[in-house]
Chain A
Amino acid sequence: MADEVVLLDFWCSPFGMRVRIALAEKGVEYQCREENLQDKSPFLLQMNPIHKKIPVLIHNEKPICESLIIVQYIDEIWKEKVPLLPSDPYQRAHARFWADYVDKKIYHYFRDILRSSSEGEELEKNKKEFIEELKVLEVELGDKPYFGGDDFGFVDVSFVTFYSWFYAMETFGNFKVEAECPKLIAWAKRCMQKESVAKSIPDSLKIYDFAVQIRKKLGVE
């Protein structure tokens, strides 16, 4: 039976991008459906009734939700090509730990900094903490080309999608990630040379424009 794969997504969601990259790495063809997050489709609400969020992967009509769970599913179903998670249980636990770290520790700064006004203590505090957390990731990367070692893997997929949001963050927060974490930027540029990544991640300037609109709507100055 031919596989039927549909992805319910939103163009600039770093979580949706993770799934796009994983599918591209595995060479899986799929139909992408753009959701309007201000007016979610009945189909999305039916496929993800619990969280009502994108991304949702629908494989032969069965939905899988939550981006890291989807990426693991993709890795397990299409296992002959380009493994994303290591085969050794300890290395796998290590990879899951760092992907979870991105979700628990890094993600909320993107939300907080984008919603902070350009002046003020809150922004400075968020910036400082954000850089500290990025540095922890940089130490974990070490001198490896990828978090996965010699090969692009699960943690790389989990984090590289946020690179497209760096420009917006840096502009609103008036700082440069590269000045603080040069190895991390070198890593991101290395990932962007991969076709699976480059074609899954939108242009940083388009994301910046989108973020400007969000800040206007929120009344942030």
Chain B
Amino acid sequence: METLLNPSKTPNLFIPKTHLFKPYFLHSNFNPQPHSSFNRRPLSITITCKVKTSQGRKNDGKNISKKIVLTDSAPELSNEEIKAKPKGGGKAWGVIKKFPKRVLAILSNLPLAIGEMFTVAGLMALGTAIDQGESPEYYFQKYPEENPIFGFFTWRWVLTLGFDHMFSSPVFLGTLILLGTSLMACTYTTQIPLVKVARRWSFLQSADSIRKQEFSDTLPQASVSDLGVILMGAGYEVFLKGPSLYAFKGLAGRFAPIGVHLAMLLIMAGGTLSATGSFRGSVTVPQGLNFVMGDVLGPTGFLSTPTEAFNTEVHVNKFYMDYYDSGEVSQFHTDLSLFDMNGKEVMRKTLSVNDPLRYGGITIYQTNWSFSALQILKDGEGPFNLAMAPLTINGDKKLFGTFLLVGDTDSSNVKGISMLARDLQSIVLYDKQGKFAGVRRPNSKLPIEIDGTKIVIVDAIGSSGLDLKTDPGVPAVYAGFGALMLTTCISYLSHAQIWALQDGTTVIVGGKTNRAKAEFPDEMNRLLDQVPEIVESSISKKPDNIGG
């Protein structure tokens, strides 16, 4: 542990932070703080002893700090100091008082947070590698005990740890909760004091301390007020006090990480609300039929409470699909009418994919479709409705089929006409032997003759696959999303600080920045080039482009 204390003739309290070795396990740190006051005090030294119980802060991170003031100057007030004084009597009370602080300190430990993040990432990766939501037999088969993966991973691991439903398992949720509490603790202990520090501005009073900055330069014939004007033109906020100058830019970049953490907490809270308080349901409704919302929606958690809107009746007026010229489906549409308990129509809208219907907090999405029935005329009689059944084939494409009995219905060997369809626009017909007979479109009304029977396809009745959902957490989550996007963008800004001191006719400039370290020297050089050089023979300044 090194201490670098510079009790010099001028109040000079610069901390070259990089000189201090910060081995990981070290628990205390001796760190003199800059004194941000205006009056020049001879030999006023403030030693701040920080008792850190954990390492890994941002550069100026503060924790509980006790100040030992050596002179009679007024001590710098910080809130932490007052909190550190134990109030009340009794040892037990003191221990209880310290307990939340200890927990807080443990939780805001950075390596713990990093470890938690790694754990979350690893669990998520495992969750994608192991198939989720299958029956136990599947896992018995896939991870057998006779032949364990890596020598130990069997189905017992999967089922006891809940890896078959990883994303709602206690292990995963517990790690997420721990991460959330770490977030809260870290924001409270580290980030908020950081705000206080960053807002304090301090002047550096000695040329040496300025030279020790990351970037430093000397301008031989210049004036510090010219530098101030140039910096102001470049967007810095400049403070000038006598011969010394302090300028900064991009302070928002220091605050934005707090915003990021708060936004994440908001998202987590909203997500928890969604998980415990929403209703979900899905239904496939043939064209022309109704359903009541409340019948279809089921709760997902213990906070779910139904609303008045659940009594609404939904009527599917029409379901139709749009097609490309090549025959592929381009869009699904469902024309819906909503009726309230009294039978009055309250809403009418045509849904499609990416365009849901919103009513009373409930949202209806078009997610699927099915073939309900085929309406045909047989030999001029009818119309008959033949129910279409889904046939299983590989791939995404659907296939539906139905069967029309022809001839003797009592014999054991029944024969008939088969009709298959991939979508609602064309039906393929096969005769009694299973040979291809023809293709008909429902709106053409053209008859087809198969084995002596005349068939006319009147209509193809589809059914709409709808998903219903109500989610109280969505506003919070969306707000969190917006905040996260905004604060992440802002935290890209770099907080640059510049100090300068007028020493006779030379100006000594030093600066540092926290993010854009690569570009900072170039930017500084560009700015310094613009500072005019004072030529000694004349009082008026010649704006030369020659700088330090």
Are chains A and B native binding partners rather than an unrelated pairing?
Answer: no
Interface residues of B (CB under 8 A from A): none
Interface residues of A (CB under 8 A from B): none
